Amino acid sequence: MKRTKNDTPRRIHPFTAAVFLYRNAFLLLIPLVQYLLFMPETLWDMIRSGSSSIITAALVVTYIILKYRSTYLYADGAEIIYSRGIYFKRTSAIPLRSLNGAAVRRGIPRIFGAELLTLDAAGAKCAASEYVGVKSEIADILEAEAGLIKKCGLPHSLIAAADATSALSGLLLAIPFINRAAVIVGDALSDGFYGGIDLWTSLASRLLPPAVAYITAFLAAGYFIAFIYELLKHINGEIRLGGDVIQIKRGFIWSFRLSLRSGEISACTSEQGILCMILGIKKLFLLSGTGRKAKSKRELLSACRGEVSAPNAEGCIRPGRLSVFSFILLPLTLFSASVFAAFYCRFNNIYIPLAILQCMAIPLFLIWIMFRITAYERTYLLVSEGAVSLGSYRGLRIISAEIPIDGITRAEVRQNPFQRITGSCTVKIHLRNMSKAFTVKRVKLKGGLRPL
């Protein structure tokens, strides 16, 4: 591990300069504001305002170059040296023994020979996160001889990508390419609004069908783009174990590699979205502070058949029978309001709102009710000697978690006035290195959480 200044690239990758420019691009608005304020009219005014704009831009670029040249990240024996700062220098020496994990993320910067390295050290919010060269040995600081535990095949990648895909995120990726489509939609909307004498008849006969078709096409295109992006992130995954270090790799173009000490695992979770429920598949994740600092949140371990269900062990705490009504109260209320609105629109011949409610709102609320009933059946809390097992839901996902006792920093029991009458409560489990707590709602808990 011993390296010297001669055989180790000390300075971070030059791609960092482009990142600095992106982060400080708002400073280039100063010349534009100057121009808008003074509005030069004569040649002398244009030269004077132009020279000040050039000076401002030059100062910004100079600052970025100096910041890049003053940032170093390299390994020196049994520690990592991280130095940055132009005027106020800060140099950190990070012992290798204090490293909890390291994450490497590759994407578009790989074209320039760069990858984002994130180091997680004990007691630090984030030890270091900088772009280094692809061939830099510092990225392999926690790599060790490891045996292959699981290699994720194509079905695993397809399921993971499909379940993680969002049509809206795909549209955000495609924004630069949909200018032409926006013009077509604009023409359709204009024809629909101004093409008829009777506004409601015109909306029903001309605007709604083309608009629905265009919106559906956009969402389908967005889902396809996001699916390809997620597939490239999840394909070719593998898990290795060597000593006390777990290695997780995945991705083809947008690749990610995580090396983590096993003692830093915060929790292992099983999750099922609606798509996975239909397919009868659950996904297993690993939660760690290193992954969160690398902006990965959780790492996919496997996708296997089965469902997230409550165990039958003695001492398993479940919601009361009457709690099922509190689980479905909100979606049931919205469903009832939608049905009432649909009948109201039908009897008053308001056909456009009726079509929208029948085609979109009512089926969605019905699915929501069914999901909440499933969430009620799979909500539980089990405290054992060395771990806490829990089942809950978040959004439209059923979650089951296995949490070691040593990883729990705080447990809360909350009750509103209605819960105090019914004897139920909400339990929050806070984990080490995790910002968001696990929440188990409406369970019957007697005697508090004293075993923790």
- What are the phi and psi torsion angles at 289 (to 5°)? -65, -35
The answer to whether 392 and 399 are in contact (CB under 8 A) is yes
At residue 392 the predicted structure's pLDDT band, cuts being 50, 70 and 90, is very high
In sequence order, the β-bridge partners of residue 133 are: 114
Alpha helix (H) residue ranges in 24-86: 29-38, 43-69
For the entire predicted model, the pTM comes to: 0.72
Q: Where is mean pLDDT largest: 155-164, 281-290, 389-398?
A: 389-398
pLDDT digits (tens, 9 = 90+) for 436-448: 889 998 888 765 5
Mean pLDDT for the stretch of residues 90-117: 84
Is the separation of the CB atoms in 91 and 82 below 8 Å?
yes
The two three-digit tokens of residue 253, written as one number: 């173009």
Q: Categorize the per-residue pLDDT at 332 as very low, low, confident or very high, splitting at 50, 70 and 90.
A: very high
Given a cut of 80, whether residue 424 has pLDDT beyond it is: yes
- Could you give the CA distance from residue 346 to residue 342 in angstroms, rounded to a whole number? 6
| Mean pLDDT for the stretch of residues 244-266 | 84
If you average pLDDT over residues 9-14, what whole number do you get?
Answer: 74
How does pLDDT run across 205-232, given as a tens digit for each residue? 444 455 556 666 667 777 777 788 888 8
Say if residues 12 and 68 touch (Cβ distance below 8 Å): yes
- State the pLDDT confidence band at 196, using cuts at 50, 70 and 90: very low
Task: Label residue 4 by pLDDT band (50, 70, 90).
Answer: very low
Mean of pLDDT values over 243-266: 84
